[in-house]
Amino acid sequence: METSVLTQPVCKFAPWDNPAQKPLVRFENVTKKFGDFTAIENLTLNIYEREFFALLGPSGCGKTTMMRMLAGFEYPTTGNIALANTNLQKAPPHKRPVNMMFQSYALFPHMSVEQNIAFGLKQEKTSKAEIKQRVEEMLSLVQLEPFAKRKPHQLSGGQKQRVALARSLAKKPKLLLLDEPLGALDKKLREQTQFELMNIQEQLGLTFVIVTHDQEEAMTVASRIAVMDHGKIVQVATPAEIYEYPNSRYSADFIGDVNIIEGKIDVTTGETASLNWAEGETPLKVSTKQRPNHGTTCWLAVRPEKLRISKEKPENADNCIKGEVWDIGYTGNISTYHVKASNGSILKAQVSNREHLADRPITWEDTVYIHWEKGAGVFLEN
Amino acid sequence: MTVADITSPTDETSKASGTKADWGRTLLIAIPYIWLLIFFLAPFVIVFKISLSDVVIARPPYFPTFDLSEGWQGFLAMLQAFDLENYVWLTEDTLYLNSYLSSLKIASISTLLTLCIGYPIAYSMAKAPQEWRATLLMLVILPFWTSFLIRVYAWIGILKKEGFLNYFLLWTGIIDEPLTILNTDTAIYIGIVYSYLPFMVLPLYAVLEKLDTSLLEAATDLGCSPLKSFWVITLPLSLPGIWAGCFLVFIPALGEFVIPDILGGSSTIMIGKTLWVEFFSNRDWPVASAVAILLLFLLILPIVLFQKQQEKQMEVSR
Question: Taking 60 as the threshold, does the pLDDT of residue A10 lie above it?
Answer: no
B215 at interface of A, judged by CB pairs closer than 8 A = yes
User: What integer pLDDT is reported at residue B12 of this predicted model?
Assistant: 41
User: What integer pLDDT is reported at residue B16 of this predicted model?
Assistant: 45
Q: How far is B219 from chain A (nearest CA, A)?
A: 8
pLDDT averaged over every residue in chain A: 88
Residue of A nearest to B5 (CA): A156
Q: How far is A117 from chain B (nearest CA, A)?
A: 10
What is the fold, at CATH topology level, of the domain defined by A3-97+173-253? Rossmann fold (3.40.50)
pLDDT tens sequence across B195-225: 999 999 999 999 999 999 999 999 999 999 9
**Could A120 and B6 be called an inter-chain contact, meaning their C-beta atoms sit closer than 8 Å?**
no
User: What integer pLDDT is reported at residue A269 of this predicted model?
Assistant: 80
Question: Taking 90 as the threshold, does the pLDDT of residue B187 lie above it?
Answer: yes
CA dist B60 → A27, A353, B71, B168, B285 (Å): 87, 97, 20, 52, 9
Question: Taking 60 as the threshold, does the pLDDT of residue A76 lie above it?
Answer: yes
Q: Hey, of B221, B230, B316, which one would you mutate to test binding to chain A, going by the most A CBs within 10 A of its CB?
A: B221
Nearest CB to B237 within list A102, A110, A154 = A110
Over range A116-126, report the average pLDDT.
91
Question: Taking 90 as the threshold, does the pLDDT of residue B15 lie above it?
Answer: no
User: What integer pLDDT is reported at residue A240 of this predicted model?
Assistant: 92
B129 at interface of A, judged by CB pairs closer than 8 A = no
**Could A154 and B219 be called an inter-chain contact, meaning their C-beta atoms sit closer than 8 Å?**
no
User: What integer pLDDT is reported at residue B7 of this predicted model?
Assistant: 41
Distance CA A242, CA A256 (A): 10
pLDDT tens sequence across A301-312: 999 999 888 888
Could you tell me if A161 and A181 are in contact, meaning their C-beta atoms sit under 8 angstroms apart? yes
Q: Which residues of A touch B (CB under 8 A)?
A: 71-73, 92-95, 98-100, 102, 104, 106-110, 119-120, 123-124, 143-144, 146-147, 151, 154, 156, 159, 167-168, 171
Cis preceding linkage at A19, omega within 30:
no
Confidence of residue B1 (pLDDT cuts 50, 70, 90): very low
Q: Would you tell me how many other CB atoms lie within 10 Å of the CB of residue B240? A: 13
Classify domain A257-380 at the CATH superfamily level: Nucleic acid-binding proteins (2.40.50.140)
User: What integer pLDDT is reported at residue B297 of this predicted model?
Assistant: 86
Measured between beta carbons, the chain B residues lying within 8 angstroms of A174 are none
Over range A79-95, report the average pLDDT.
87
**Could B222 and A106 be called an inter-chain contact, meaning their C-beta atoms sit closer than 8 Å?**
no
Distance CA A65, CA A209 (A): 13
Angle formed at CA B238 by CA B236 and CA B242, multiple of 5 degrees? 110
Confidence of residue B18 (pLDDT cuts 50, 70, 90): low
B223 at interface of A, judged by CB pairs closer than 8 A = yes
pLDDT tens sequence across B112-165: 999 999 999 999 999 999 999 999 999 999 998 999 999 999 999 999 988 899
**CATH no., domain B85-317:** 1.10.3720.10
pLDDT tens sequence across B236-265: 999 889 988 998 899 889 888 899 989 988
pLDDT tens sequence across B280-297: 988 899 999 999 998 888
pLDDT averaged over every residue in chain B: 86
User: What integer pLDDT is reported at residue A358 of this predicted model?
Assistant: 67
B98 at interface of A, judged by CB pairs closer than 8 A = no
Residue ranges covered by each domain of chain A: 3-97+173-253, 257-380
Nearest CB to A102 within list B6, B214, B225 = B214
pLDDT tens sequence across A222-237: 999 999 999 999 999 9
Which segments of A230-377 are extended strands (E)? 232-237, 259-269, 272-276, 284-287, 297-302, 308-310, 319-330, 334-341, 346-352, 367-372
Question: Taking 50 as the threshold, does the pLDDT of residue A2 lie above it?
Answer: no
pLDDT tens sequence across A342-371: 888 889 999 888 877 666 778 888 889 999
pLDDT tens sequence across A239-268: 999 999 999 999 998 888 899 999 888 888
Question: Taking 90 as the threshold, does the pLDDT of residue A287 lie above it?
Answer: no
Percent of chain A with pLDDT over 70: 96
